[in-house]
Amino acid sequence: MREITLSKAVNEALAEEMRRDETVFIIGEDVAEAGTPFKVLSGLVEEFGTARVIDTPIAEPGFMGLAVGAAMTGARPVVDLMFGDFIFLIMDQLCNQAAKTHYMSGGKLNVPLVLRTNLGATRRSAAQHSQSLHALVAHIPGLKVALPSSAYEAKGLMKTAIRDNNPVVIFEDKLMYNDKAPVPEEEYLIPFGEANILREGKDITLIGTSSMVQVCERAAELLEAEGISAEVIDPRTIVPLDEETLLASARKTARVIVVDEGHQSFGVTSEIASRINEKAFYHLDAPVMRMGAMDVPVPFSPALEDLTVPTPEGVADMARKLVAGEMIHAA
């Protein structure tokens, strides 16, 4: 099977869906000739023209509002938000309009809109261009949230998102755009709410999101060399969340670490850990542990920035302590 980059996978998904459905269009800053700063959309304007790959001014609230209106009236816009950090600028349009229109219209109106943006630190982009803010939108009823962990996941989830009649937010890790993975040439979609068990194990479960899936996989390799069998699971979407798969694994291994690049406090790690504690408590041999980004603005200094996010070595060290029976942070 061919291997392509995550960037190419997203590009293919968008092109295929735009050919399939003429109501799909892309709107955002530097999406046409520039193809975005990360070059993810390169070549699309040449095929589809500026009527369907639409460059906008630096006016995030404006073009997000346009997209919500277009979705309400029959189009399927894909909004390109250059950095996930800019999501604060569009929260009213996304959370008060897109997320609530279906409910407030008594089911008469849909908002089939995709917001694609990014997350991730360690790119040396400092505090205002390095945040992982997916937990913010996961908190809002009416929005679906996807976190692709590879090129394969990125293509399949994007195609599913575009065909969904609800607003979907997809966060891609900036550092993964050049990462390659096997991707079929034939069409495929990845259903929302179905987690992927990448590695089966019996001693501990490692649940990772986005690029933290790779962190968990590398940690599992370190642990395997020591005789510790780690199961690695990628939820793929946090809304909807595949509780059944996560709970089944927790009941099997009796130990769980949840790893996510968002800030650890009040974030995705907390939500997943609490659900496992509530529904699999008597199957656990240790507290469910959380590993997220430090609760500090992302530093510009490389030496400091690298300390703020989970690493394979850190996850493996936590796993060793849990398997050894150390009740970390237990009362």
Residue 61 near residue 89, CB atoms below 8 Å: yes
Angle at the Cα of 37 (from 153 to 31), degrees rounded to 5?
80
Provide, rounded to the nearest whole percent, the portion of the chain with pLDDT above 90.
96
Portions of the chain given CATH number 3.40.50.970: 3-182
Residue labelled with tokens 């990845």: 190
| Residue 331: per-residue pLDDT | 43
State pLDDT tens for residues 253-266. Answer: 999 999 999 999 99
Residue 223: both structure tokens together: 């642990």
Strand partners, 25: 77
- How confident is the model over 118-132, as a mean pLDDT? 93
The domain at 196-323 falls in which architecture?
3-Layer(aba) Sandwich (3.40)
| Residue 163: per-residue pLDDT | 98
| Residue 123: per-residue pLDDT | 86
Residue 53: both structure tokens together: 């790959």
Judged by DSSP in three states, 49 sits in coil
Angstrom distance (rounded) from CA 325 to CA 199: 23
- DSSP symbol at 71: H
Angstrom distance (rounded) from CA 173 to CA 286: 31
| Residue 35: per-residue pLDDT | 87
Options 17, 29, 60, 271, the catalytic residue? 60
Please state, rounded to an integer, the average pLDDT across all residues of the chain: 96
Angle at the Cα of 214 (from 302 to 295), degrees rounded to 5?
45
The domain at 3-182 falls in which architecture?
3-Layer(aba) Sandwich (3.40)
- How confident is the model over 235-257, as a mean pLDDT? 98
The stretches of the chain forming alpha helices (DSSP H) are 6-20, 44-48, 60-72, 91, 101-104, 134-138, 151-163, 212-224, 243-253, 268-280, 302-305, 312-323
- How confident is the model over 119-128, as a mean pLDDT? 92
State pLDDT tens for residues 138-172. Answer: 999 999 999 999 999 999 999 999 999 999 999 99
Angle, helix 243-253 to helix 268-280, in steps of 10 degrees: 60
Let me know if 129 is a catalytic residue: yes
Residue labelled with tokens 């003429």: 22
Residue 230 near residue 204, CB atoms below 8 Å: yes
Options 129, 221, 224, 243, the catalytic residue? 129
DSSP string covering 78-91: EEE-S-GGGGGGGH
Residue 81: both structure tokens together: 């938000």
- How confident is the model over 61-86, as a mean pLDDT? 98
| Residue 326: per-residue pLDDT | 80
- How confident is the model over 82-100, as a mean pLDDT? 97
117: pLDDT strictly greater than 90: yes
Q: What pairing do the DSSP bridges indicate for beta strands 237-239 and 204-208?
A: unpaired
- How confident is the model over 122-149, as a mean pLDDT? 96
Give the confidence band of 327 by pLDDT, cuts at 50, 70, 90: low
Let me know if 139 is a catalytic residue: no
Angle at the Cα of 284 (from 270 to 266), degrees rounded to 5?
5
Q: Find the radius of gyration of the CA atoms of the chain.
A: 20
Portions of the chain given CATH number 3.40.50.920: 196-323
State pLDDT tens for residues 180-239. Answer: 999 999 999 999 999 999 999 999 999 999 999 999 999 999 999 999 999 999 999 999
| Residue 133: per-residue pLDDT | 97
Give the confidence band of 303 by pLDDT, cuts at 50, 70, 90: very high
Strand partners, 259: 208, 291
